[in-house]
Structure 1
Amino acid sequence: MGNKSELTFEEALNQLEEAVENLEKGELTLADSLEEFELGVKLTKFCSDKLEQAQEKIEIIKEENGRVKIEDYNYQDEGAE
């Protein structure tokens, strides 16, 4: 997977998609399948962490009493799990 700090979310997602495709083909040896699966797990965690970081940065702009108010986005307020 290379150095995680240099990998972008998009690159990791593309690599994850490739790993899934390779596993779905069913043409890998058991050892290669396990290696590809392990890579997929690491990439999934990396992407999940990146999404969490991005979510923490999202701000919602609300207008209250004619003034703009900026609040941190809280996905739990939206009913997400």
Structure 2
Amino acid sequence: MAKASKAPASFETALAQLEDIIQAMESGDMPLETALGSYKQGIELIKFCQTKLADAEQQLKILENNELKPLELSNGQ
């Protein structure tokens, strides 16, 4: 299941791959060596997702004049 280290196309792709790894590892049917490779790949995916989220947060700060404001949802929209 472990693949070569290639950056995912998007945050959503990385998240889906991470969910697949978790499901496969939770099944308990994975050989140890494969599990270790999958764990390593999962760590790389987590780092990728954390970077994407930090980038998005930085963009929001810039858009909001360096102030991260709480999201206000209005009813009816």
Instruction: Bin the TM-score by the shorter chain.
Output: 0.7 to 0.9
Equivalenced residues, count: 67
Q: 1:57, 1:72 within 8 Å by CA — same for their partners in 2?
A: no
1:55-81 Cα deviation digits (max 9, x unpaired): 0000487xxxxxxxx412448xx7xxx
Identity of aligned residues (%): 30
Q: Distance in 1 between matches of 2:21 and 2:53?
A: 20
Runs of 4+ in 1 over 3 A off after TM superposition: none
- Structure 2, unmatched stretches of 5+, are 71-77
Residues 73/25 of structure 1: CA separation in 2 closer, same or farther (3 Å cut): farther
TM-score by length of 1: 0.70
- Structure 1, unmatched stretches of 5+, are 62-69
Cα offset, 1:3, TM superposition: 3.0
TM-score by length of 2: 0.73
Higher relative contact order (CA 8 A, sep 6+): 2
Q: Which structure's residues are more often strand, by fraction? A: 1
Larger Rg, first or second structure (1 or 2):
1
RMSD between aligned residues: 2.4
